[in-house]
Amino acid sequence: MARYVILTYSIIPRDKKLTHVKGWKDVPNSTQYNESIAFKNNIKTSDTQTAKLILDTRDNTVVKNGFPEDVPYDKAMDYLRKHYPNYFPAA
């Protein structure tokens, strides 16, 4: 496995037909998040700027946490094991 696990999120419309309407993002439930996961051996500056969460699997540490609450390494790995079992087999 690569040393770093990088999670990024992007906001996308739930219904692309409504994006021409001014203020469509302000309508409740008009957007959703896309989660992307990447595995890298080195972190680039662009990774630290765009990623929401970066984990170092070698040192078992959180390199970057862009979430409002503190996310410990173990809690993040539990989430990844639950949602990505093909990439993170149970320990």
Model confidence band, residue 38 (pLDDT cutoffs 50, 70, 90): very high
In sequence order, the β-bridge partners of residue 6 are 38, 54
Residue pair 39/5 in contact by the 8 Å Cβ criterion: yes
Higher pLDDT: 23 or 8? It is 8
Q: List the beta strands (DSSP E) in 1-91.
A: 4-13, 31-40, 53-56, 61-65
Higher pLDDT: 89 or 5? It is 5
Tell me: the pLDDT tens digits for 26-36? 878 888 889 99
